[in-house]
Structure 1
């Protein structure tokens, strides 16, 4: 019976319904590597000690040295970061000042508002006025030494909210005239061969960096030289849109240690424009707001008296006949005004006589002949 059949009576060679081979054949076909194999003496250069024991430390060192790949943890060349790539930046740059733990601050040279200056800074407006492609020195101050390899980065952004998403670039005209590799950058660092120009791969914003140099002996600040390669009024570029320059102190990895921001206007006469804008700002603060467009002057009111005289001479003559009484205090003043009145009366009489004589006078001919009157005939007729 099936119930009395024991498990031992089952043979492994029995064919299984769902298998092509027996279980024994399947088991024997599996090649299993030994869990641990002890290398022979010839494989490990005779690591046997004098006491007949195997030096396992020597074996491990030789096995690891021969089997370890030194390039195991190195990245593929395609994964390595390439040179010239800027650290990731935000879509909308921050324009607020941040001195940080190093008390990062900027200082500008005092140039005044003379017409001959090429660069001048207004502390009242926190605005730099400079000429096209002219050097503007900026002094950088910190209270302690930044980390090794720190850099200074200058970035230009538009000031107004409706333009802040646009990238500040040079106009096509000035780009075509420039043969430099970084000719599309508005801000350029002068006097340094270590300046690097970057363009963010995501936001396309452009910036220029220069290594931070500690102050020289006897000085407390470091000076960098910036120049702006387009006018604020250039069509196709800034196009009269105000811009801000963000100057940051960063670590080599791109960590911001300090930030300063100021407005820039690139124009032909920095001193004149600074003086004008400071005066307008002072007037607005004092309450006397100056309008940009002047209102047209009202048309002059026509003189009604002259119109009346031209329309009606008779009415004017009737008004002249009116007599007015004037009360005068003092005999001397009365005599003086009386003489004036008598003179005016005399002039009126003389003018009337001249008008009457002009009307009745008949011009005589130059040849001596008498002019014919109406209704007369000449002797020849």
Structure 2
């Protein structure tokens, strides 16, 4: 139909030019038809869109593609992490397996110090206890921080030496080579590094206790020694374990100190003994401070009334009301004065009599007497 209209227009001759146009109607028509022919694809799209509007709106048109869990969950890292215990509504608790202080142990926990001693890259089973089932998708997050205030702002990382060794031995895990804490025995463990604070953490999904057990177990490994230069450099660290929702909300928190060394049993025994000695010495110091020092004035013995003391020579004036009371106090004072005089007289007599007696068979000679030999 459109072709017939175009052919009919071709046979029409215009005798008068259009004053407001720059060409004939035939030229204008050709331009329009050529534009439609060249933009045929765009015209078909417009027709399809109009047809789509007539049939209905597709609700899935603006749906975003699904993202992995690692991309959607971001670790809630703060500038200064909280290290205080918080059991929360689920009574989140940790339990460590008992082991002695023998030299052969690879991991041992001190209840006295709340401190875990372990060897490099050795498995440390940590038991997780909750009072009731946490929400679906809950996870356990492990984060390492420095214990002392002057180092708490720094990020705990492995030393360069152990990082390079890990990259050579396991190239596939090179991106996680700087992480100190590793989770063992779970393929669903994910490692994170906060964009702002650069703190590193590792998460693993919470697993419900198996039948006949009240706890679940998480296996952690510490991939650097506490004494490594360029890493911890003998600075004490704390490990924070948190129970979190899939969105990153903390449900519970527990914290303990960690020392990675060659002989965990020996170091635990030594530090426990030093801590006990310090506690005992502190108690003794407190006891000494609590006992009052003896009063020097109360221990002085009263001196005899010799009349030579300044207190005895000093005179005091006492104002007394009433003649009768005055006479009574005057008699008492006169009596005391008399006793002092008698005491002085007795003292002089005693001093005269205190002359050493002669030995047996001899007697003392007076000045006016002479000996027989004279």
Q: TM-score, normalised by structure 2?
A: 0.57
Structure 2 CA distance, aligned partners of 1:105 and 1:124?
17
Cα offset, 1:85, TM superposition: 5.1
**Residue among 257, 272, 277 paired with 1:263:** 257
| 1:56 alignment counterpart | none
Structure 2 CA distance, aligned partners of 1:84 and 1:132?
33
| 1:70 alignment counterpart | 59
Cα offset, 1:155, TM superposition: 0.3
Unaligned ranges ≥5, structure 1: 1-61, 290-381
Does residue 136 (structure 1) correspond to residue 130 (structure 2)? The answer is: no
Paired residue secondary structure (1:178): helix
**Residue among 271, 279, 283 paired with 1:277:** 271
Cα offset, 1:80, TM superposition: 10
Structure 1 CA distance, aligned partners of 2:53 and 2:146?
60
**Residue among 37, 59, 74 paired with 1:86:** 74
| 1:98 alignment counterpart | 86
Cα offset, 1:69, TM superposition: 4.5
**Residue among 140, 144, 151 paired with 1:156:** 144
The Cα offsets for residues 135-156 of structure 1, whole Å up to 9 and x where unpaired, read as: 1110000010011111000000
Cα offset, 1:88, TM superposition: 3.4
Cα 1:172–1:202 shift into 2, 3 Å: same
The Cα offsets for residues 255-303 of structure 1, whole Å up to 9 and x where unpaired, read as: 11100000000000000000000000001100179xxxxxxxxxxxxxx
Instruction: Give matches, 1:202-217, under 5 Å.
Output: 202-217=196-211
Structure 1 CA distance, aligned partners of 2:122 and 2:54?
63
Cα offset, 1:70, TM superposition: 2.3
| 1:166 alignment counterpart | 154
| 2:114 alignment counterpart | 126
Contact 2:241–2:255 (Cα < 8 Å) also in 1 = yes
Cα 1:84–1:129 shift into 2, 3 Å: farther
Does residue 184 (structure 1) correspond to residue 172 (structure 2)? The answer is: no
Structure 2 CA distance, aligned partners of 1:142 and 1:65?
57
Unaligned ranges ≥5, structure 2: 1-50, 168-172, 284-374
Contact 2:190–2:204 (Cα < 8 Å) also in 1 = yes
Contact 1:85–1:200 (Cα < 8 Å) also in 2 = no
Structure 1 CA distance, aligned partners of 2:195 and 2:73?
8
| 1:253 alignment counterpart | 247
Contact 1:245–1:261 (Cα < 8 Å) also in 2 = yes
Task: Give the 4+ runs in structure 1 shifted more than 6 A.
Answer: 62-65, 77-82
| 1:233 alignment counterpart | 227
Paired residue secondary structure (2:266): helix
Does residue 147 (structure 1) correspond to residue 135 (structure 2)? The answer is: yes
Paired residue secondary structure (2:71): coil
RMSD: 2.4
Does residue 193 (structure 1) correspond to residue 187 (structure 2)? The answer is: yes
Contact 2:92–2:252 (Cα < 8 Å) also in 1 = yes
Contact 2:73–2:248 (Cα < 8 Å) also in 1 = no
Structure 2 CA distance, aligned partners of 1:80 and 1:271?
43
Paired residue secondary structure (2:246): coil
Cα offset, 1:222, TM superposition: 0.3
The Cα offsets for residues 4-47 of structure 1, whole Å up to 9 and x where unpaired, read as: xxxxxxxxxxxxxxxxxxxxxxxxxxxxxxxxxxxxxxxxxxxx
Q: Between Structure 1 and Structure 2, which shows a larger proportion of helix residues?
A: 2
| 2:46 alignment counterpart | none
Structure 2 CA distance, aligned partners of 1:246 and 1:208?
11
Structure 2 CA distance, aligned partners of 1:123 and 1:223?
19
| Matched residue count | 227
